[in-house]
């Protein structure tokens, strides 16, 4: 059975007036999932705080000490985008700890899949810095915990419209954590070029496809079929984590992509099928960005349906996009890896 995290604690991270990363985001997802009868399709998992050890696997001691000094019970800013309120530290520790617990439970077969509706988001938080609305890197903490619990390989696929620079930074030199990102490029935070493929000892374990603004369902499907799924097939992770941001949605106010609800459904179904095929079905989606409330709630509902519905085969491979710049972005990623001697396999025709 799928396990899910939904808790009022995440609304206690209170935003300044007008800030896009606001409690209404988690509330919109909660309402959408409740409307989709999540309680009859999945098991609610209690939240818990991350332990110090779980945080320190992915963040430095100095950074944790800074957060403990500045954040609990107070209001302020860690950078120009990243605020904190009196309830933020409890919410951040609950977001990281609950995501860790969900991932470990899925790894050990206590749950089939997982869905973590948590905030603040995490994928911009580096080992040493908060940024981009993020304090603790939830998905990175989950990946590191899974490795500590016996997973030989973990993959993180990030479809948020912004590149997950923090997750990439944390696992840059780790060949056993595969980081895959499709994002708008060039765009905030400025990272995610196709030539960013991992450190010397982990070449090929970082895969970036930076698409131009205006791309939609067809271009994202091509990225999955020609880059991500072949890479996952070769890597065969014990656990697949998704940094599930919904700000590539066609009406999102902070970005310029054109992904529809059907497009998110297609990505989720591909990853459910990939997990079934190469990861014993073990997949966990973790909320990142997404600032149009309808797109956010609808997108996460599609993930729920993909995870809890009947198992499906991987679909037929879509052609490379007709959009010239998008096609060049995909080919640029493939070329960068091939030139470094870590070529991504060709798509499998028979699935």
The catalytic residues are: 124
Give the ranges where 36-153 is alpha helix by DSSP (H): 38-41, 52-56, 61-70, 88-107, 138-148
Alpha carbon distance 88, 213 (integer Å): 32
Q: Bridge partners of 155?
A: 178, 240
Among positive and negative, which fits the CA dihedral 137, 142, 146, 152? negative
**Residue among 221, 198, 222 nearest 208 (CA):** 198
Give residues with Cβ within 8 angstroms of 8, minimum separation 6.
none
Hey, is 44 helix, strand or coil?
strand
Looking only at the bridges linking them, the beta strands covering 83-84 and 76-77 are: antiparallel
Q: Which two tokens stand for residue 258?
A: 């054109």
Q: Which two tokens stand for residue 257?
A: 């992509």
**Residue among 114, 47, 43, 145 nearest 284 (CA):** 114
Task: Write the Ramachandran bin of 214: left for phi over 0, alpha for psi from -120 to 50, otherwise beta.
Answer: left
Q: Which two tokens stand for residue 192?
A: 């995610």
Tokens 């403990």, residue located: 68
Tokens 């419209």, residue located: 161
**Residue among 234, 2, 276, 260 nearest 115 (CA):** 2
Alpha carbon distance 193, 207 (integer Å): 9
């Amino acid at each position: 059975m799928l396990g899910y995290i939904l808790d009022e604690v995440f609304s206690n991270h209170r935003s300044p007036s007008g800030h896009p990363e606001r409690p209404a985001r988690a509330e919109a997802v909660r309402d959408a999932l409740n409307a989709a009868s999540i309680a009859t399709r999945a098991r609610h998992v209690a939240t818990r705080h991350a332990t110090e050890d779980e945080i320190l696997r992915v963040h430095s001691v100095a950074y944790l000490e800074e957060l403990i000094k500045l954040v609990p019970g107070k209001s302020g800013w860690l950078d120009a985008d990243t605020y904190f309120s009196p309830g933020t530290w409890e919410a951040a520790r609950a977001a990281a700890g609950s995501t860790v617990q969900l991932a470990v439970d899925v790894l050990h077969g206590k749950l089939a899949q997982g869905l973590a509706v948590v905030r603040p988001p995490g994928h911009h938080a580096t080992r040493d810095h908060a940024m981009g609305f993020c304090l603790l890197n939830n998905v990175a903490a989950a990946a590191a915990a899974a490795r500590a619990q016996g997973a030989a390989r973990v993959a993180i696929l990030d479809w948020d419209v912004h590149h997950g620079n923090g997750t990439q930074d944390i696992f840059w030199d780790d060949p056993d954590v595969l980081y895959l990102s499709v994002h708008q490029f060039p765009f905030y935070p400025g990272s995610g070029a196709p030539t960013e493929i991992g450190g010397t000892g982990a070449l090929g374990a970082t895969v970036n496809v930076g698409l131009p603004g205006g791309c939609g369902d067809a271009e994202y499907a091509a990225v999955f079929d020609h880059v991500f799924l072949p890479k996952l097939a070769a890597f065969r992770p014990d656990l697949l984590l998704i940094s599930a941001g919904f700000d590539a949605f066609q009406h999102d106010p902070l970005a310029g992509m054109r992904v529809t609800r059907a497009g998110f459904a297609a990505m989720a179904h591909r990853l459910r099928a990939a997990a079934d095929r190469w990861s014993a079905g073990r997949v966990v989606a973790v909320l990142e960005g997404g600032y149009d409330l309808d797109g956010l709630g609808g997108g996460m509902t599609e993930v729920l349906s993909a995870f809890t519905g009947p198992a499906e085969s991987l679909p037929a491979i879509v052609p490379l996009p007709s959009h010239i710049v998008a096609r060049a972005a995909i080919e640029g990623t493939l070329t960068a890896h091939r030139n470094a001697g870590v070529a991504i396999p060709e798509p499998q025709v028979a699935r």
